[in-house]
Amino acid sequence: MSAQATVAGSEALHAASRTHRRRREWAWKALAYLILLGLGVFLVLPFFWLVSTSLKEPGTEFVYPPRWLPERWAFGNYVEVFRLLPFHVFFFNTAVIVSANIVGNILSGTLAGYAFARLRFRHKNLLFMLCLSTIMLPSIVTLIPRFIIFKQLGWVNTPLPLMVPAFFGGNPFYIFLARQFFLSIPIELDEAARVDGASTWRIWWQIILPLAGPLIAAMAIFSFQRNWNDFLEPLIYLSDQEKLTLAIGLNSMRGLYATQWNLLMAASTMVTIPVIVLFFTCQRFFMKGIVTTGLGGR
């Protein structure tokens, strides 16, 4: 009888311990969710203020005490932006430059990354180290030599300096991403394809690229965000208004003596929304690409 009582007491003690452990785990999870929720609200507040200000009437942007919501919703601010400046032209110019850079970076990055990851040639590791070393070189250092080159080619005041370099391995970071991803694909796929008579180009196009969906998504999002928000290079190479990009168009809305902040916020909202939509639409592929390319701490 005493043995049964001891066993029952031990089971009750274990049950109480498990219950205490579960409650402690739930408490830590609840605390973590509360912290993440607070950080999320804190990070969303600037965007909320941006949208709210874009819907305010002139003169009410900086009233005190601040109003989180406008008293009268001025949706006409978004129409006024297109009347003030040809933002539809800026959108088109930016979309063309961004699309060309996405295609160019994916093609050149996957080609070079495939060569460094799958092919055998002399001094491969040395060349890859030299390629990576260019990441540590600030782009501002090569700005003047690049401008002189494009000036001699007659490309200044055209979108060509903003698009063509992407097709020739313009960003070594994408080459690094591609190499890391391709190293995770079994080499036996290449060997089996070569036994069947496939060339290197065919292996890259028909075998490697179809498996690189997460990588392509990550490269596309990185390239989109960088070129969509790029300000310095379009400022240097473009001068005619009909060739400007969105970043330059936004900056031109800041006046020397006065700025229509509600219109500037409306334009900024329209520029920001495509980036947010793209990220949340491709978030699953983007995170998978980050993990599989070795940037996730693996």
Per residue in 56-109, pLDDT (tens digit) is 888 887 878 878 888 888 888 898 888 888 888 999 999 999 999 999 999 999
How many residues are listed for the chain in this entry?
298
User: Residue 255 gets which letter from DSSP?
Assistant: -
Residues 222-261: pLDDT tens digits?
899 889 989 999 999 998 989 999 999 888 887 755 678 8
- The pTM assigned to this predicted structure is 0.81
User: At 161, which helix (H) or strand (E)?
Assistant: helix 160-163
Residue 203 reports pLDDT greater than 80: yes
Question: Which class is 84-292 in CATH?
Answer: mainly alpha
User: Residue 60 gets which letter from DSSP?
Assistant: -
pLDDT band at residue 294 using 50, 70 and 90 as cut-offs: very low
Q: Of 20-24, 97-101, 134-138, which gets the smallest average pLDDT?
A: 20-24
* Cα 291 to Cα 28, 107, 180, 218, 224, distances in angstroms: 26, 21, 10, 10, 19
- Per-residue pLDDT, 291: 59
- Per-residue pLDDT, 160: 94
Helix (H/G/I), strand (E/B), else coil: 74: coil
Angstrom distance (rounded) from CA 39 to CA 95:
33
- CB of 150 closer than 8 Å to CB of 237: yes
Helix (H/G/I), strand (E/B), else coil: 177: helix
* Token code pair at residue 193: 């394809």
Of 4, 23, 213, 212, the C-alpha closest to 114 is 212
* Token code pair at residue 54: 């874009």
Domain-wise residue ranges, the chain: 1-45, 84-292
- Per-residue pLDDT, 171: 85
